[in-house]
Every structure is written in structure tokens, then in C-alpha cells.
Structure 1
Amino acid sequence: MKNSPLKSQIIKHLYFDKGLSCAELSEILDKSLPSTAKAIAELIEDGLVMEDGYARSSGGRRPQVYSIKGDAMYIITVAMDQFTTRIQLTDLLNNPVGDMMVVELQLMDNPDALPKLISYINQYVKSTGIPKDKFAGIGIGMPGFINVIEGVNYTHLDAGGESLTHLLTQETGIPTCIDNDSSLIALAEQRFGIAKNRKDVMVINLGWGIGLGMIVNDDLYRGHNGFAGEFSHIPISDSNALCSCGKRGCLEIEASLLVVVQKAIEGIKEGRVSSLKYTEENHPKLVGDAIMEAANAGDQFAIELLSDSGYKIGKALAILIHIMNPASIVLSGRGAVVGKILLAPIQQALNKYCIPRLVASTELLISELGFDAELIGAAILVMESLVCDQ
């Protein structure tokens, strides 16, 4: 999608803010009305923007409202975790188009992960039957230490020192951008989710690890090297269990969904009464999903496991609150589906470990986007990059 910077800015604001008038766009972009009107007219002619009725008015002529045309371009959104990759085609209104591709793709210690990812994306793009010039881009969320500017993941998907972004763009023929999964989930919550219009929000990505995206003063905070938000590796215990980062006592080895799965398997083998079943062939993903489903159905063992995890997460959140003093904390990602079960033990831990004045001003929220947040964040990543590419 090659446009002038002004037209790209208009597309971007219509994507995020939906219907806007020419006067509103002129004011937001600090551009003259004539130049804004001219750019809008050209975008309408190009089939990217359309007239969308009239705004309400308390008197006088009602202004024409413009909106982005959903099927003008498409985005390939990719959401990766340690075990599974989801690929979904969306339009410019974030509506899913066609079926999602879900593939098992282990990232840890897998040198074939990158060529397989490229193959899956190319296969999916081909299956859509859409010409490549109709794609605004490919947005990919993935775990790991990621330098967004250089397009490098220092943890997974080794591109041999080459920029992963450049390699993926070259291999797919479509502009591609990557970002940390938790950062994208935070972006999704900020732009289209429960954190919209909130300036200081900590978004917790509840998954195989426990990620964190930080919205500080209405902007995504990345830290000095872009690695801010490694919430999983806050040391909260004296456990000797070794974390994937090489350290001991991390939150990840005490409370992540992967640890909940391991405890569930051990409990079932020891004869704990539960509706949960387990065989050696079960994938951790299947067990994790089963635990959350059983907990929401009232299974006492599943609730016990998640409550223990929630309490430890709450203990770590107390540290975060003392440092960042956020207005809100959002529980998002895969584990948001059991957010109501986690809330009570998290709050219990906050009451015990947090200064009352601080915790009283911090609101705990459950994401409405949930497991879709990373896919939506991947689309946002593409749209955010439009102006940068000009």
C-alpha cells in the first residue's frame, strides 16, 4: 500500500477512529482543509475510502463522514506461541476473512521453525487467491526478545544474523513486520479493547509464559533496548527449578500455564479426583485448554490449580504496582477465558503484599478480546507501519 504520508495518515486514523469528517481529520493531522479534502478525494478514487453518511449536528449543515473501505486491502495476521501458530486473513475493519490456519510449530530448539513458518505463510497466502498487491502487509506476533527496529528475534527463529523482517518480506513478497506477542496484545487492548482511552495500563499476557505489555502515558513502553515487560522472569521464590531464561525462582516456573499443565498431569497420575483426563499422547496445549474448560465448568481440581497460579501472579503484580502505579491491569491472552477465576486469588495476594493506597487505585480488568488479541495486535502492527514506510 504505497501512498503519500498524508494519505497514509488518513487511512491510519480512519482505521483506528472509524468515521471522521474532513474537518476532524484536518484538525487531527494539523493540515489545511483543502489539502485534506484533496487527499480524501484521491483515496475515494483509489477505492480505499468511502463516504459513510453524515455526522450528527446540533444545527447547520451536517458534515460528511468518511470511513475506510474494509475490502480495499487485506492483512495477514500471525499469532505465535511456543507450540502453535495461527494465521488469519483480515480486512481493514479487522473482520476475519475465510478460515484460520492453525499449525503445530514448536519454537524452542527447532532449527526448522523459520523455514516451516515461511512455508505455512506462503501456503496460506496462495490459498486466499488474493493478488499480493492487495495485501497491506503481514503482521507477526511471537514470543522472545525482539528488536522491532532491526526486525530480529534474539530468542527464536534464527535468521543467521539477517533481519527476520527483511527475510520474511523477501520470502513472501509481502511487507512483513514482527513484534513481541505481549506488546501486540497490549496494543490491541489499547486500540480496540478494554484499555481504550486509558493512559497507564499494564496488560498481562496469560499464556505458556506470563508476558507484559506496558502502556505508559498512552504509549507502548519498550524500555532502553526494547525488551521491557519480561514479567515472567520476576524472581518471586527460592525454588531451585530452572527457568528457560537460565535463572531460578522466576514467576514463569511458578505460575505459567505450562506449570499448571505439569501440576495437573502429576495430580491426575496421583489419583486426584477430577473431570480431567490425561494420556501420554496429549499435547500441553490440549491439556491447558482442558484445564481452563474444566475450571469454568466447576471442576474443583482445575480451579485449585488456577487459583494457586493466580495468587503467585498477584504477588508479582504487587511488585509491578509498587514500581509503575498503573491505573489499570488487564488480564488478556489465552488465559483471559478463566479471568474471573483468577481475579479473587490475585486480589487476595495484592491485599497481602501491596500498599493499600496503591492497590486501591489500581483497577483489575478482564480482556474482552482474549485469545484474539494477538491477532488483532498483528493487524495494528501493519497499520502502524504504513506511515513509517513512506
Structure 2
Amino acid sequence: MPDAPSRPEPFTPHTEPAALDDLRARLRATRWPDAPEDAGWSMGTDLAYLRELVGYWADGFDWPAQEAALARLPRFRVRLGGLGIHFVHVRAAAFSASAAPVLPLVLSHGWPDSFWRYTKVIPLLTDPGAHGADPADAFDVVVPDMPGYGYSDRPAGPPLDSLAVAGLWARLMDVLGYARFGAAGGDIGSHVSRYLALDHPDRVVAVHRTDAGVPVPPGDPADLAPEERAWFESVTAWAATEGAYAAMHRTKPQTAAFGLADSPAGLAAWIVEKLRAWSDCDGDVERSYTKDEILTNVTLYWLTNTIGSSMRMYRANGAIPPAQLARRVEVPSGFSLFPGDIARPPRAWLKRTANVVRVTEPARGGHFAPFEEPELYAEELRAFFRPYRAAGAA
């Protein structure tokens, strides 16, 4: 079969010096726009901050050191559905035979990121005993880059939507020998995890999400509880003031891609504004991320030239039929609603759309919680999946 999965092969990318020389030359040649006095972040990315970040990217940021740190993760490539898929696969640390069984767990990222989102949390999940937690809560962790993101292939034809990616992840887990597993994610990764649970309920033992995605109204709005109606109104208001990026991604992603693929400063502006706006940082992006962490994420996009292909997934997801969006998840579902996230849904909506068994509201963290607050996020996953370990090992 032409699309039969290949055997996973170890993968360690190496950036040629010429690529970094080109990047630095572009950064140093940036033509800066003007900005109104005291505009700050009110109209988008702050000019003063971006000049500072770009200056560090050109003359201080050590990409080879960051690339070497990422290379310490066991990383692979496999061919699935005609596409080369990059993924991290870390098996649980050994522990007492009397402990609970290891649960395989596939983690799905969102935009604007990649496997980067989970790099801090992976060791906490695979070796909890080394980080002050119960060794029996260890997971085998799989973190794929979605098609068009990171080191996975960019689809040459139509972009894949979240349903299609969920199907690829089911095949990936089969290739890795996992008959049953847990699924977790946020942002677009929340959609992928949801469709994994919807389309493979015999394999997904439980699903954890940090959001419920963009809400789809029921047939009769009068059926909504007051807190649900208030949430719909808040989402509409958010889209009017903060959703321009998503409208561009859904409608004309290729237009934006020309500029973002050519200008590293423009790419950084497009990404860092979202890191700041969607994180629990009180307006100071470096409360949540160091410059090195921000630029590792942005540099991954630059070197792989995946900003255009990542944005096109919004267009694909925008065409998912409403009947698919309205399906209810019957697999046991958990939600961790971090305070700095966007469009936090009310519990009434969660229970309407999923078989909810656990909802928590951690004290800190935002849209990128696995990176912002890895310890809190790891504990959320350990607690939620603990009752399902035996089912995952069956």
C-alpha cells in the first residue's frame, strides 16, 4: 500500500551555518515601521520590545545550543498517510513492578507552536519520581508535530483538518504498539484530541483538554443556560477585538505567508504578540518565557518555513461540517481551565458537549500552560488519568 506506515527512524536535525548567517543578515537589515507614541501593545506588537528581541536574536541568541538541548529528546520521523511526521517518543522511567501500569499518552500542540509546547513537561510525565511525584504516575509520552508544523512535512495539496490529524495520530500510536492510550491537548490540539476520542473511543481511554474550542450554538439558543449565553457573547466580543489573526488564517493565509516567510522580524511580531496576549503574564511576556524560549519557538518556525502551512490548517478546520463540530464526546473527559487562557468555557457548556468527569481551575497559567506552568500541568494530567491506567495497559 503506498500510504502504509513506514518504520520510525531516529531524527536529529542540524542547521547549516549558512542558514543562520542568512537569518542574522535579514534581522540586521529589518526595515522598521513607525508607531504612534505610547502605543505599546495596544495596536499589536510593541515596537520597542520587538527591536530589543530582534537585536538579541541577531547578536545574542545561541541557536546551536538550543538545537542541541532539543536533540536530547528521543525524536523520530515516520511516514503516515503519505507524509513524513516528526515526533518525540519518551518511554516511562522504570519503577517498581507493584506500581500502577504505564499509560501511553499522546499530546497534541496548537498554534503558534509545535512539539516545543511540551518540552518542559515531558520529563515530569515520564519520570515523576525524579521530580518529587509518585513514580506510579509515569506515562509513555508521544508528542507529534502536526503536518505543516515543526519538522513534520508540509502537505503539498489541501491542508489537513483536525479530524484527519486525529486519524494520523491513531495510526501513529498503532505503529508504536499502543492499542489503548490517553489523549491530551490544547488549542488546535484540543480539537485533535477531541476527534481522537470521538472517532476511536475503543482506543482512547480518556481525554484531557485545556479548552473547548470555538463554541457551536445549539439549534435553539433558548436552550442555553445564562452562563452559556454570557460565554457566547464574550467569545463574540473577543473575536471582534482579538480575532483578526484567525480570520486571516481562515480566509487568506497565503497572503500573510509571503511577508512572514520572508521577514524574521515580521514572523517574530506575529508570534510573540500571541504569546503575550494568551499567557498568564500580566502584560509582561518575559514573566512567562525567557527570550531564549521565545526565540527557540520562533526559530523553529523560521528554519522549517512552516508559518504558512501552519496557518492553512485554520482554513481546513473552518470547513469542518457543523455536524462534526456538534458531536458529543462520550469518552471520559477532563478539563483544566487555566486563568490566563482565552475563551474559558462554563461548566454547563462542558457538560453539554462531553462526558465530563473532572474540571479544575489551576491557580496559574494560560494558553500555553504546559510550557508556562509545567509542574501544574503535569499534576493535572497525573490526577486526571490516574483512574484510567489499568484500561490503558489492557
Same fold (TM over 0.5): no
Greater relative CO, 1 or 2 (CA 8 Å, sep 6+): 2
Pair member with larger Rg: 1
**In proportion to residue count, which structure has more strand?**
1
